[in-house]
Structures are given as structure tokens and as C-alpha cells.
Amino acid sequence: YANRSAKFMGAYIKGLTGAQAAWAARKYHGHQVLPKNIIKQFDEAHNSSK
């Protein structure tokens, strides 16, 4: 529980919304740190699927 919460807090600090934080947590579940361009990757992933 603590690790999952820490990942969400880190995502919020980077400026991600709740949906973006959940997506990042699933995509980067094995990584310690989210990449700097995570918001761009989220936008690309969701714009290309529409």
C-alpha cells in the first residue's frame, strides 16, 4: 500500500491528474521513477487510440 501511494504522490508532484497517475502506475509498474516526458507519453497514447 505504501509503495503504491508513494508512486501516486510522485505522479501528482509531476503534475499528472488522477487518470494520468493511474495510467503511469500501470505502464511503469516495474520502474522506480517516472520518466520526465510522462505527460507527453500519456497524451500520445490516448490521442492515437481515438
Q: What is the pLDDT of residue 30?
A: 66
Residue 16 clears pLDDT 60, i.e. is over it? yes
Where are the alpha helices (H) located in the chain, listed in sequence order?
A: 2-13, 18-27, 38-48
Q: What is the pLDDT of residue 42?
A: 81
Name which of 3-12, 13-22, 28-37 the model is least confident about: 28-37
What sign has the CA pseudo-torsion 30, 41, 13, 25? negative
Q: What is the pLDDT of residue 21?
A: 83
Contact 34, 24 (CB under 8 A): yes
Residues for the chain: how many in total? 50
Residue 32 clears pLDDT 80, i.e. is over it? no
Tell me the pLDDT band of 22, cut-offs 50, 70 and 90: confident
Lookup: cell for 28:
511503469
